[in-house]
Amino acid sequence: MTALTYYDDFTKEERSALRKMDAAMKTLSNRHWFFAASGTMCIMRKGDDDNRVVNTNGGMNNDYVAAIMGSGCDIDGGDW
């Protein structure tokens, strides 16, 4: 698994899920980027120039949301 793990008490099922998430993110990141906010994980399309598209205020451009997942999961998009 290439996911960076900080502790080693994941169950076998959790490790499998991490491997699948890591593989999916690598596949998707060719044409997409990931944005966590408001308790969801957004899969965002990149623009024609292969970069993130933001609105005039510098925030995420909702027109480029490709998928939203994780609703109801404990997700935080804040900085450390």
- How many of the other CB atoms lie within 10 Å of CB of 69? 10
Tens of pLDDT, residues 54-74: 999 988 899 999 999 988 888
Residue reference for tokens 């959790």: 14
Question: Which residues touch 19 (CB under 8 Å, ≥6 apart)?
Answer: 1, 3
Helix or strand holding residue 68 (H, E): strand 65-69
Residue 76 in any domain: the answer is yes
Residue 22 in any domain: the answer is no
Residue 73 in any domain: the answer is yes
The residue among 69 and 39 whose pLDDT is bigger is 69
User: pTM to 2 decimals?
Assistant: 0.79
The CA-to-CA distance between both ends of the chain, in Å, stands at: 25
Structural domain of residue 45, as residue ranges?
32-80
Tens of pLDDT, residues 15-37: 899 899 999 999 999 999 999 88
Q: How many domains does the chain have?
A: 1
Residue 21 in any domain: the answer is no
Residue 27 in any domain: the answer is no
